[in-house]
Amino acid sequence: MDPIFIWWIGEAAPDRALLDHAALHLGRAFGRPVREWSSPERPRHAYDPKRKQHLSGAILKWLLEAGPGAGKVLGVTDRDLFIPILTYVFGEGQLGGGAAVVSIARLLEDVELIGPQLLLERLAKEAVHEVGHAFGLLHCATPVCVMARSSGVRNVDEKKPELCSECRRRLEELQTGGPR
């Protein structure tokens, strides 16, 4: 069973508690081992100076080229991400592909007021969400499902860190080649 690799690609030093918490939830959600991948390389080419943000699609391509080459790889960054049609994104996952990326930049809203546990929970949810796309899952209409679309941080807070029963069933089908 191919593992999920989690790779800190931020500029600041990695926060062990943050990565360990995300890894715990990824392992639970997808039933796979989660391993850390480490390299000093960073996707600096993804920076757009006009927007002062990083293009998430460029990071996904880079993760596939520079990453472990097997399983799924999740890049975690402290840089703000965007896709051209949106002001920002919390992350992006290749639908049925090998890479996903998530940023903590926009997840930090209100963390100083509420506490660091809030950031742990938000990152875990968005990590599972983006890796869920990499496993082939689409957005879910159930608001509390981790695969529900999040247009703002409040939507992230409303979600649970787990897949709903329908998304769990769909994941099993995708992994076993069952009905589509």
8 A C-beta contact, residue 76 and residue 7: yes
Q: What are phi and psi of 113, to 5 degrees?
A: -80, -40
Could you tell me where the DSSP H helices lie in 45-164? 56-66, 111-114, 116-134, 153-158
Give the bridge partners for 34, in sequence order: 4
Strands (E), the chain: 4-8, 34-36, 47-48, 53-55, 72-77, 81-82, 91-93, 99-103
Catalytic residue check, 41:
no
Active-site hit among 36, 92, 130, 166: 130
Distances (CA, A) of 13 to 18, 77, 112, 119, 120: 12, 10, 19, 16, 16
8 A C-beta contact, residue 120 and residue 76: no
How far apart CA 130 and CA 63 sit, in angstroms, is: 14
Catalytic residue annotation:
130
